[in-house]
Structure 1
Amino acid sequence: MEHLDDTPLRKLIRERIAARGKIPFAEFMVACLYEPGLGYYTSPGRKVGAEGDFYTSINVHQAFGRVIAREICQMWETLGCPGSFEIVEAGAGHGQLAKDILDTIRAVNGELYAVLTCRLIETEPSLREVQRQLLAEHAGKLAWSSPDELAAGTLRFTGCLYSNELLDSFPTHLVEMTGAGLREVYVTVAGDDFAEELDHPSTPELAEYLARLGITLNEGQRAEINLNAVRWLAAVAGSLERGFVLTIDYGYLAPELYGPMRQNGTLLCYYRHTIEENPYLRVGQQDMTTHVDFSTLIEQGEAAGLKKIWYGEQYRFLVAAGIMEELMALEAVATREEERLKLRLTIKKLLLPEGGMGDTFKVLVQGKGVENPHLLCMRDWSRLF
């Protein structure tokens, strides 16, 4: 009888471990998510939405993209309306968010649309054609780059790089505090299954990461350390000549992320809209995520030349940037009360905590070469009504 998860990727990882010995969990996660042709994000198939494994704000309503578009228009004006402006979406998926943003900019700011280029960056190769078809009416505005090009620092642009639920999918190291000190989680093989083994950290960067934040884990406490997010942000800072970085994801500042209440860290898997805590099942077939350390993004961004402009909960960003105006505009063209009610309930999902996305998701806006920015999200939203 075949093993329940006897996939080609599972076999490949087992062979690597047999040949080289145990591997850091981060390397296991790289294979599960990004192994060419076999990983969760590098194999064909719908991952997001009703037919996939999870929802994002993009799937809730186009108003999410329309509000981001409003802020991008404000960013362009803040930079002095340059004659060339690039928006770069890292982790562009099927292209729906880019479509909502481009549709809105074309409708509300033709001057910006005329000088705009939209660059899409996505790991899964087959999605480029999907994006091309979805964005066909904006064909003259499109460009593509690979994640490797961004990581190598070969891109140069003025404008805004934005991402939505990208950094949470970056492979992370797992560590655990023991009586003998900090140890890293390694993946090995025991019979037909994967197993874990604690050993000395594979790099001194792990202990240095926690020390920089002033974090001391309790004995027995596990945590994730996302070195890839730090490297990614440095590459973004190097590519951005002048403009903004807009990051939307779920996570916390370090004191909360690494607090004693998170004894087991934040690593979770998603498969067909159900949560799975075991990362060693359905290898390559389930999403794996960890919460983002926004303290490190802010601090390391500053070191790389990205100044923090705004940080807060998604609902605060959306309200300040104009989602209520979007709601009123959409309600004005709705023909039935049932349609208006459905619209309100949908928007609430983006804003409300506890069951919605309002406070689970955070927004970080960083700038480079920007003096005294005046963005919509910086407005005192309590005074907007």
Structure 2
Amino acid sequence: MEQVDDSALRGVIRKRILEKGRIPFVEFMTACLYEPGLGYYTSPGRKVGAEGDFYTSINVHRVFGRLIAREICRMWEVMGCPASFDAVEVGAGHGQLAKDVLDAIRELNAEFYELLSFRLVEAEPSLAEVQRTLLADHLPRLSWSPPADLAEGRLRFTGCLYSNELIDSFPVHLVEMTPAGVREVFVVADGDRFAEVLEPPSTPELEGYLARLGITLDPGHRAEINLNALRWLGSVATALERGFVLTIDYGYLAPELYGPMRRNGTLLCYWRHTIEEDLYVRVGRQDMTSHVDFTSLMAEGEALGLKKAWYGEQYRFLVAAGMMEEMMALEAAATTEEERLRIRLTLKKLVLPEGGMGDTFKVLVQAKGVENPRLLCMREWGQLF
């Protein structure tokens, strides 16, 4: 196994453990991902793409951003073409998705583009300058906020907040069913290494979460509970005056996510495009992620006034939003058959199941203050071909 110097963050976490005796896994994961200056997402360095640790749909082709842009344009229309509209991207990274979305909106609907305000929210402070450079020709439309502005209620907007592979990166509680009932995983210090112990849950919210879903885990079954996702959604619901929340991520409905086929849970690390099952190596230097519980997002959204407008696989969303039209336009502009074939093979990654991203990734659209929206993703398949 390739070694990296993770001593600084490892020392910070070990000190906390020694002070408290042990910490819940969610606290360990929070430090690994978001410790200021040392966490995976709060330290400099490319995380996504060939030079990073994983790919997202953004890296496949700019058409992904164009199709999101098509749906955002449609959202503006179904809201009655208001004189102002805010688009907020949370987890904006290096800004490539924002660029693809803004480029497409400017091309598709110049009137909408001229009244659009676009806000980027990103945990890594150094990326703001990278985004500013990449998005230089869109600067009049742009503004920036740290995640704390959303979490602490300082943002208010009307329009659309969207995210791509954001919620899977939220720190989770890790639980395991034992003969004595649900127990939570805590992290302890074992010399220079970390180890796990099982203890009663740190909060009754964990057992309440499973009870609301009607989930009973089998003995030995481990699972993740993402309370942070629900808190985040609460912040979003407060910030959104009227409009939509568009969430793209990998995950399942609760019966499948917590089913017996996933008795080890879904928590994994990624390091240079390989899966790492050991959560306690390369501390703060490897991505750590778990699949999203879309059932709970929808239920919590309803309670917060965010009504489910649409939920389904990514391939259905992309095709309904205009994937075929975009593909045909790209092929028409290609000058050789080799180029056309390359376009087809590239775009297939976005929609194909089993090895592609088409069914692993899901899309959830929630609406607030917009009754019966007729969005592109809601089109019947028979209307598309």
TM-score in terms of structure 1 length: 0.98
Counterpart in 1 of 2:256? 256
Match of 2:323 in 1: 323
Q: The residue matched to 2:261 in structure 1 has which SS?
A: coil
| Distance across 1 between alignment mates of 2:221 and 2:244 | 36
Q: Partner residue of 2:272?
A: 272
Residue segments in structure 2 that go unaligned for 5+ positions in a row: none
Task: Tell me the residue number matched to 1:112.
Answer: 112
Structure 1 regions of 5+ residues with no counterpart?
Answer: none
AA partner of residue 319 (structure 1) = V
- Match in the other structure for 1:168: 168
In the TM superposition, 1:1-385 aligns within 5 A as 6-385=6-385
Q: Pick which of 330-339 and 66-75 moved more.
A: 330-339
Instruction: Tell me by how many angstroms 1:383 deviates.
Output: 3.5
Answer whether contact 1:5 1:281 (CA < 8 A) is retained: no
TM superposition outliers: structure 1 runs of 4+ over 4 Å: 3-6
Identity of aligned residues (%): 75
Structure 1 residue matching 2:308: 3-state secondary structure: strand
Question: SS in structure 2 opposite 1:255?
Answer: helix
Provide, for residues 357-385 of structure 1, a one-character-per-residue CA deviation record: whole Å limited to 9, x for no partner.
Answer: 00000000000000120100000124311
Mapped partners of 1:7, 1:76: distance in 2: 49
SS at match of 1:280: coil
Deviation at 1:192, TM superposition (A): 2.1
> Per the alignment, in what secondary structure is the counterpart of residue 81 of structure 2?
coil
Q: Is the 8 A contact 1:85 1:115 kept in 2?
A: yes
Residues 6 and 39 (structure 1 numbering): CA distance in 2 closer, same or farther, change over 3 Å?
Answer: closer
SS of residue in 2 equivalent to 1:261:
helix
In the TM superposition, what is the alpha-carbon distance from 1:213 to its structure 2 partner?
Answer: 0.4
Measure the CA separation in 1 of the matches of 2:241 and 2:107.
27
- Superposed CA offset, 1:122-160 (max 9, x none): 000000000000000000000111100101122111100
**C-alpha distance in 2, partners of 1:80/1:183?**
50
Give me the whole-angstrom Cα distance separating, in 2, the residues matched to 1:194 and 1:123.
26
Other structure's SS at 1:201 match: coil
Q: Which amino acid aligns with 2:202?
A: S
TM-score by length of 2: 0.98
Deviation string, structure 1 residues 68-110 (Cα, Å, up to 9, x no partner): 0000000000000000000000000000001000000001101
The CA RMSD measured in Å over matched residues stands at 0.9
Shift of 1:5: 5.2
User: What one-letter code is carried by the residue in structure 2 that aligns with 1:246?
Assistant: L
Counterpart amino acid of residue 289 in structure 2: T
> How many residue pairs get matched?
383
Task: Please list the CA deviations of residues 283-339 of structure 1 after superposition, one character each: whole Å capped at 9, or x if unmatched.
Answer: 000000000000000000000000000000000000011011100011111111111
Confirm or deny: 8 A CA contact 1:96 1:134 kept in the other structure: yes
Q: Which piece of structure 1 moves more, 101-110 or 374-383?
A: 374-383
Equivalent residue letter for 2:122: E
Q: Cα distance, 1:121 vs. partner?
A: 0.1
Q: CA–CA distance in 2 between the matches of 1:136 and 1:353?
A: 36
Cα distance per residue 1:2-25 (max 9 Å; x no partner): x96552001111111111110000
Distance of 1:6 and 1:139 partners within structure 2: 37
Q: Any idea what SS the aligned residue of 2:318 has?
A: helix
| Alpha-carbon distance in 1 for matches of 2:258, 2:315 | 24
C-alpha separation in 1, matches of 2:363 and 2:344:
22
Q: How far, CA to CA, are the matches of 2:20 and 2:263 in structure 1?
A: 31
